[in-house]
């Protein structure tokens, strides 16, 4: 047994199914353990690599095609960066595979879509709507920041986008404000989804209880959630090089690892 788990503390006792379950206090050792377990899962179940390998590079390619024209250029980076907001919903299949492997059930890649066919379908749909609202909010915020910084100047064009971003005051204001807004949306997404999605895959519960549990876990473990967010951001950035091909490895790994993090945070 991991020593971090054996020394964990709980915030409250297990109660009926409509109340928040017991939450553990975790440490950075648990984060490392979750990543290590996720990597073991990835090495054992690589069939889903094809799915992830095709999906995200295609999404990034579509973003380039759609936005790499002058009128939509300001939305290019928000679209590519915002793809990570949808990650927890797509990762539901990885949670299911990790759950099945943990329970010694058949964990073949065709079980990836099981959460969308069973009792988890409606809670996942509700949580995905929440992520969709966050994604739209991020795009609106990003465009408003662009309007505030570049609204009084000539619009950005593909031919001069880099020079104007890095050599003008408006460009640096856009970079700073955009990154601050992106950080805020990333934190909300992390707190909203880290526990909620794996929990509705694991248990027959409503989306609202899963979100409340995720919020409670974040309140109980702010440092661990911050550490997890930094790890996720670093791995996603690594996976985008080159041309998002690395996400074919990073996304399944993070999906499996998030499942194991959930099992550390919540007494099942």
**Where along the chain do its domains lie?**
3-12+22-107+121-265
Rounded mean pLDDT, 219-228: 98
Q: Note the pLDDT of residue 111.
A: 86
4-31 in b/e form (b: 16+ CB < 10 A) is beeebeeeeeeeeeeebbbbbbbbeebb
Average pLDDT, the chain: 85
Rounded mean pLDDT, 243-267: 89
Rounded mean pLDDT, 163-183: 91
Residue 10 DSSP symbol: B
Q: Note the pLDDT of residue 56.
A: 64
Q: Note the pLDDT of residue 69.
A: 67
pLDDT beyond 90 at 108? no
Segment 86-97, tens digit of pLDDT? 788 888 989 999
SS3 23: strand
Which sign, positive or negative, has the C-alpha torsion 268, 189, 192, 97?
negative
Segment 192-210, tens digit of pLDDT? 999 999 999 999 999 999 9
115 burial via Cβ count (<10 Å: 0-12, 13-18, 19+): buried
pLDDT beyond 70 at 53? no
pLDDT beyond 60 at 14? no
CA separation for the pair 26, 28 (Å, rounded): 7
């Amino acid at each position: 047994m991991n020593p971090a788990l054996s020394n964990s503390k709980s915030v409250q006792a297990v109660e009926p199914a409509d109340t928040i379950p017991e939450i553990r206090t975790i440490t950075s050792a648990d984060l490392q353990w979750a990543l290590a377990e996720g990597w073991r899962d990835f090495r054992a179940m690589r069939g889903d690599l094809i799915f992830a390998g095709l999906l995200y590079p295609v999404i990034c390619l579509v973003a380039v095609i759609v936005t790499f024209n002058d009128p939509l250029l300001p939305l290019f980076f928000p679209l590519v960066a915002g793809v990570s907001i949808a990650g927890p919903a797509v990762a539901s299949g990885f949670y299911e595979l990790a759950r099945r492997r943990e329970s010694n059930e058949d964990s073949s890649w065709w079980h990836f879509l099981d959460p969308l066919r069973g009792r988890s379908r409606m809670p996942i749909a509700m949580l995905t709507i929440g992520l969709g609202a966050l994604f739209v909010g991020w795009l609106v915020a990003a465009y408003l920041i662009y309007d505030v910084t570049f609204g009084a100047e000539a619009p950005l064009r593909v031919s001069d986008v880099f020079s104007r971003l890095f050599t003008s005051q408006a460009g640096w204001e856009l970079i700073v404000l955009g990154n601050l807004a992106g950080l805020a949306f990333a934190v909300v997404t992390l707190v909203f989804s880290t526990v909620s999605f794996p929990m509705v895959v694991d248990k027959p519960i409503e989306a609202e209880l899963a979100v409340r549990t995720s919020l409670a876990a974040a309140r109980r473990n702010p440092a661990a959630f911050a550490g997890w967010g930094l790890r996720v951001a670093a791995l996603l950035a690594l996976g985008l090089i080159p041309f998002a091909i690395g996400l074919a490895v990073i996304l399944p790994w993070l999906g499996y690892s998030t499942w194991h993090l959930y099992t550390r945070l919540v007494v099942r």
